[in-house]
Amino acid sequence: MVATGAVAAVGGAFVVWPLISQMNPDASVLAMASIEVDLAPIAEGQAIILKWRGNPLIVRHRSKADIDTAKAVKPTDLLDGVARNANVKEGEAATDDNRIVDGKSQYLVMLGVCTHLGCVPEGNKGDFGVVTPNGTTGGWLCPCHGSQYDTAGRVRKGPAPENLPVPPYKYVSDTKILVG
Amino acid sequence: MSGPSKYQPTSAVGKWFHERLPIVAFAKDHALDFPTPKNLNYWYTFGGILAVMLVVQIVTGIVLVMHYTPQTDLAFTSVEHIMRDVNYGWMLRYLHMNGASMFFIAVYIHMFRGMYYGSYKAPREVLWMIGVIIYLIMMATAFMGYVLPWGQMSFWGAKVITNLFSAIPFVGDSVTTWLWGGYSVDNPTLNRFFSLHYLLPFVLAGVVILHIWALHVVGNNNPAGVDVKGPGDTVPFHPYYTIKDGFVIVVFFMFYALFVFYGPNYLGDAVNYVPANPLSTPSHIKPEWYYLPFYAILRSIPDKLFGVIAMFSSILILFFLPWLDTSRVRSGRYRPIFKLEFWIFAVVCVALGFIGSKPPEPVYVFWSRILTFYYFAHFIIILPVLGLMETPKPAPNSISDDVLGKSSLMPAE
């Protein structure tokens, strides 16, 4: 009785696991995991949005004003003090330098997936960009629930809990990156 | 069901069959002879409407699947193909699409009726809780169905709702990846939503049978909220309530047809006629009308995890309603303060729905917080305290007295 029950329980668990596991990303999804991006055509102040792993990837060529504004932010003003950059050590502080790779401050590469509920934040909007006579540049505003990000993609106004994530990427040449 | 069955097979074949499977007796006892309080008003007809709407949704859904393709490149165009090429495809889709809204209109009336007349109170707690489960399954089914046309609102609705699970501490991201079958809402997500959207209505049908079973164990509540005391208080379900329910179903179908034929997209969102684009979120994203109050509660809290907890709690709290309401008087008719408070609560729910449809601007956020507070206060503070403090009016001694307009001189129990 006990032996039968025990064998049935273990057997049941072995059958249930494939039924659960089949819902995880399959081999074809995992295969298309990296893309190469040429940064040269992106003019200063311009941002492009590409698709990476089904998600929007924002690549912005930042102006000096963008970078200076981001560097001037005090750590205490950040809602999320962690870099959220897959290319630096986990838990590093969210300084502007920790949001980029290889010291190339002009290129900000991050996922355009609001850390609240996943909408795509709109660029050059919100209260945390650089105010110019021609309107705000840099900074992102999520249209769904009003979260705001600064010129380094760090969350500055909730409900989003985290900075926009920087995916793993590396420079394969001076102006080319491999994401993923 | 009390007492032995009144069914007596008359033919030899009927007798032979009855001895092997007494299904005819079962149907006669539960669908025809079932003793039903004789004072039920029209608010009690929405259960019947809901049963019919479930059948309408299953039938129209099955035929729509004969033409629909659950693949991200083809889903949107296959729905347009249904609308333009398939014979009567436009009508079948509009029936299904508006049928969902009609289903929710009926379920909300059914639920508020239960709250007003205290239908969740002993001995109907289990009946009420099965009803809450039905409501939860309905919400999941409707959500997944809305994703299938793969329009902009389908896609972004799916993304926002599945992302609610990413608020779970530690395992949230793994759970959402598992739900999506990828790193974002994509083809695997659409496939599994289609599978589950086809499955859940049949699960729903099963749970509805449990709901009716539980109803037939304890019997109907009634507007007077007093127990059935004898055969004089009831009438057989057929013909008295088959005709009453039948009449209301016909009227309800006229209302339904008004939307299907004269305003088929009135309850929907025009943005969903734009194909899904994973790189651009529509500027005003909002769920279908029947989720709006909960969406407003989600947005009223400026923290991701607590917003999600508040939203789920606002629904799950219904499970505890039978124990939160401390009043021993069942029907709101004999509770003067509750009666007033009930309507305030109903208005609060509608107002939350209105705010849920608006962008998250400061004035709406402000009001959504006040109303969210009231929503929870209704369940956690007002109902428990009111039941202890309120002096109820005398309830009638019996259902027959209620029908005859006699009110007892004795104070209510």
pLDDT tens-digit series, residues A101-151:
888 888 999 999 999 888 899 988 888 888 888 888 888 998 888 889 988
Q: Is the pTM of this model over 0.80?
A: yes
Residues of A carrying an active site annotation = 145
- Give me the phi and psi of A157, to 5 degrees please: -145, 130
CATH of span B292-397: 1.10.287
Interatomic CA distance for residues B142 and A46, integer angstroms:
41
Confidence at residue A83, expressed as pLDDT on a 0 to 100 scale:
85
pLDDT in tens, B351-395: 999 999 988 788 999 999 999 999 999 999 999 999 999 999 998
In this complex, the residue of A29, A49, A113 whose CB is nearest that of residue B182 is A29
pLDDT in tens, B250-296: 999 999 999 999 999 999 999 999 999 998 888 888 899 999 999 99
- Average pLDDT of the residues in B72-77: 96
Q: Which of A31, A32, A37, A34 is nearest to A171 (CA)?
A: A37
Q: What percent of chain B has pLDDT over 90?
A: 84
- Average pLDDT of the residues in A160-169: 90
Confidence at residue B265, expressed as pLDDT on a 0 to 100 scale:
95
pLDDT in tens, B298-318: 989 888 899 999 999 999 999
pLDDT in tens, A21-63: 999 888 887 776 788 889 889 888 889 999 888 889 999 998 8
- Set of chain A residues whose Cβ sits within 8 Å of the Cβ of B281: 119-120, 122, 142-144
Interatomic CA distance for residues B288 and A154, integer angstroms:
31
What confidence tier does A79 reach under pLDDT thresholds 50, 70, 90? Answer: confident
Window from B66-70, B96-100, B303-307, B340-344 with minimum mean pLDDT: B303-307
Confidence at residue B390, expressed as pLDDT on a 0 to 100 scale:
93
- Average pLDDT of the residues in A10-14: 91
Confidence at residue B49, expressed as pLDDT on a 0 to 100 scale:
97
Give Cα separations from B210 to A124, A130, B142, B150, B315 (angstroms): 55, 61, 21, 34, 21
- Give me the phi and psi of A45, to 5 degrees please: 85, 0
- Average pLDDT of the residues in A71-98: 85
In this complex, the residue of A23, A51, A120 whose CB is nearest that of residue B281 is A120
- Set of chain B residues whose Cβ sits within 8 Å of the Cβ of A146: 360
The strands making up A35-38's β-sheet, listed across from edge to edge, are: A35-38, A176-179, A169-173
List residues bridging with A61 in a β-sheet: A107
**What one-character DSSP code corresponds to residue A124?**
S
H-assigned helices in B232-289:
237-262
For B117, residues 6+ apart whose C-beta sits below 8 A from its C-beta are: B43, B221, B222, B223, B225, B330, B331, B332, B333
Residue ranges, comma separated, of all CATH 1.10.287 domains in chain B are 292-397
List residues bridging with B235 in a β-sheet: B36
Confidence at residue B206, expressed as pLDDT on a 0 to 100 scale:
97
Please tell me the distance in Å from A1's CA to the nearest CA on chain B. 32
- Walk me through the domains of chain A, giving residue ranges and CATH numbers: 27-179 (2.102.10.10)
Interatomic CA distance for residues B75 and B146, integer angstroms:
12
Residue ranges, comma separated, of all CATH 1.20.810.10 domains in chain B are 30-275
Q: What percent of chain B has pLDDT over 70?
A: 97
- What is the third-level CATH fold of B30-275? Cytochrome Bc1 Complex; Chain C (1.20.810)
A12 touching chain B per CB within 8 A: no
List residues bridging with A47 in a β-sheet: A60
Q: Does A54 sit within 8 Å of B278, measured CB to CB?
A: yes
